[in-house]
């Protein structure tokens, strides 16, 4: 059995109701952003989603740049209301746009003990949250923790804005560490036994899927140095083990200092695309005349090796570039555009290509 996953930046999916944020950004009836345009935008998005995974559609679809949950419910109604549900929490983002997760409710349900949460990052002003969605496979104990991201923009300059993305990356890394390790109180209360070591590794091997628009490339410092996500497996293959040196007062489990200093590494599935010229998910800078690879999948050790019922198929990952949303000259995404006067019909889809992949159920 395979689970089909996808992520897509939907490019400014606002509704037609007037709000201060929408007014500031020009998404008003006076600027041409009408209910008819919103409906056309949703139709365009649904058209692409229906083509994903050989027209079978994804089981998990993370999205960003959406104003609110009702818009996602409208999108679901254009796809398959019997199949999909949405996890969504309103965020305090200064632009008023959120991230969401559509999930196949015939396959998944939300973990009742850990509801989805939008996690604030400590910047000087409200910015896009990290969205954590713990899922369970129906009729199974198999879990999958999904983190959906939309990191701070490069609009003020790549290097000028880089510290903001480093801050978010470091925060996300800490969240993942907390999911893959026992906290200090719990660990210090555990006996020094082989059973405890097995428990530590069950935590260490939990299934974590990170997806999003990171506004950085796989080789940027926020991803490599702060989130600890790379194309290598040297760190990824490490398990939790006892310290083997003279004077260690524990025989079966690591010393507390060793355990607390452990950092979880991730595998970034997007590196193979970096070796291909002019391949990416966003065409941003005309001066360089090339694509950026800002939308990415990253996975935990357990999901990479298939330690707990799920195994991410890294070979299945692709940048989804259907002909309908690609420019004729080169395969670049055609952004959604609308006429202020409403004379010409809206055209285009989004300024980002989606990314897709598969998870094998073992």
Instruction: Answer with the residue of higher pLDDT: 26 or 239.
Output: 239
340-357 pLDDT, tens digit each: 877 788 999 999 999 999
Residue 195 in this model has a pLDDT that exceeds 60: yes
Q: What is the pLDDT of residue 247?
A: 65
Please provide the DSSP assignment of 183-221 as one string.
-HHHHHTS-SSHHHHHHHHHHHT--EEEEEE-SS-TTSH
Residue 239 has pLDDT above 80, yes or no: yes
Q: Which alpha helices (DSSP H) does the chain contain, by range?
A: 20-25, 35-49, 52-55, 69-79, 158-180, 184-188, 194-204, 221, 256-260, 301-305
pLDDT at res. 276: 85
pTM recorded for the entire structure = 0.94
Please state the domain extents for the chain: 2-361
Which CATH code is given to the segment(s) 2-361?
A: 3.60.10.10
Q: What is the pLDDT of residue 297?
A: 98
Confidence (pLDDT) at 174? 96
């Amino acid at each position: 059995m395979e689970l089909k996953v996808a992520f897509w930046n939907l490019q400014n999916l606002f509704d037609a109701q007037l709000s201060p944020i929408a007014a500031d950004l020009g998404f008003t009836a006076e600027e041409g952003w009408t209910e008819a345009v919103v409906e056309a935008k949703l139709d365009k998005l649904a058209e692409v989603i229906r083509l994903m995974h050989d027209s079978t559609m994804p089981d998990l679809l993370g999205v960003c740049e959406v104003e609110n949950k009702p818009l996602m419910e409208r999108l679901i109604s254009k796809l398959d209301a019997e199949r999909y549900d949405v996890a969504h929490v309103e965020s305090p983002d200064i632009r008023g746009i959120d991230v969401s997760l559509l999930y196949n409710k015939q396959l998944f349900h939300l973990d009742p003990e850990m509801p989805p949460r939008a996690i604030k990052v400590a910047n000087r002003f409200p910015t896009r949250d990290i969205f954590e969605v713990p899922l369970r496979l129906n009729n199974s104990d198999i879990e999958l923790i999904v983190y959906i991201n939309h990191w701070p923009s490069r609009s003020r300059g790549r290097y000028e804005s880089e510290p903001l993305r480093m801050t978010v990356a470091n925060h996300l890394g800490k969240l993942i560490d907390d999911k893959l390790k026992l906290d200090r109180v719990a660990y210090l209360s555990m006996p020094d036994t082989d059973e405890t070591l097995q428990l530590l590794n069950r935590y260490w091997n939990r299934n974590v899927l990170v997806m999003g628009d990171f506004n950085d490339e796989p080789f940027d410092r926020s991803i490599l140095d702060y989130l600890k996500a790379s194309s290598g497996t040297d760190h990824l293959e490490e398990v939790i083990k006892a310290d083997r040196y003279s004077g260690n007062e524990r025989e079966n489990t690591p010393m507390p200092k060793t355990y607390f200093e452990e950092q979880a590494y991730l595998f970034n599935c997007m590196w193979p695309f970096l070796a291909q010229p002019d391949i990416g998910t966003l065409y941003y800078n005309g001066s360089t005349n090339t694509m950026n690879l800002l939308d990415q999948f990253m996975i935990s050790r357990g999901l990479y090796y298939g330690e707990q019922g799920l195994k991410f198929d890294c070979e299945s990952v692709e940048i989804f570039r259907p002909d309908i949303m690609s420019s004729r000259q080169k395969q670049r995404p055609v952004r959604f555009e609308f006429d202020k006067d409403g004379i010409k019909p809206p055209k285009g889809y989004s300024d980002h290509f989606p990314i897709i992949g598969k998870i094998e159920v073992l």
